Structure 1
Amino acid sequence: MKWLIMVFPLGITYYTYTFGQWAWQKGNRRGAVGIFALAALNLALAIYALYIKRFF
């Protein structure tokens, strides 16, 4: 069941990551690094909330 709940955050992370790749290719390096950090934070918070924290 937790994997089914993870589909939504994984979709958001993938979309954010591809936007970061696009920004990197367009030459916006600083913005791309921030977007990659946002994608990593999104994935880390979802994993924490579903697997590490006991009561969500």
Structure 2
Amino acid sequence: MMAVPRAQEQCEGISINSLGFAGALLVKDEDQLEQLKAIGPMNILKAVVCSED
């Protein structure tokens, strides 16, 4: 088991829950899919986690 503290629930309107950190990034429509592809999965995950500072 892994605990990942989030600083925010979403990035650019795409909600990220625990499934996202397990590899299942779910989107609502084609627009969000294209946005996810443009930003990149790892960048989306990095954007919602608490910083190391």
Considering the TM-score relative to the shorter chain, is it more than 0.5? Answer: no
The structure whose residues are more often strand, as a share, is 2
The structure whose residues are more often helix, as a share, is 1
Larger Rg: 1
Tell me: higher relative CO, structure 1 or 2? Use CA pairs within 8 A at least 6 residues apart.
2
- Structure 2 length-normalised TM: 0.30
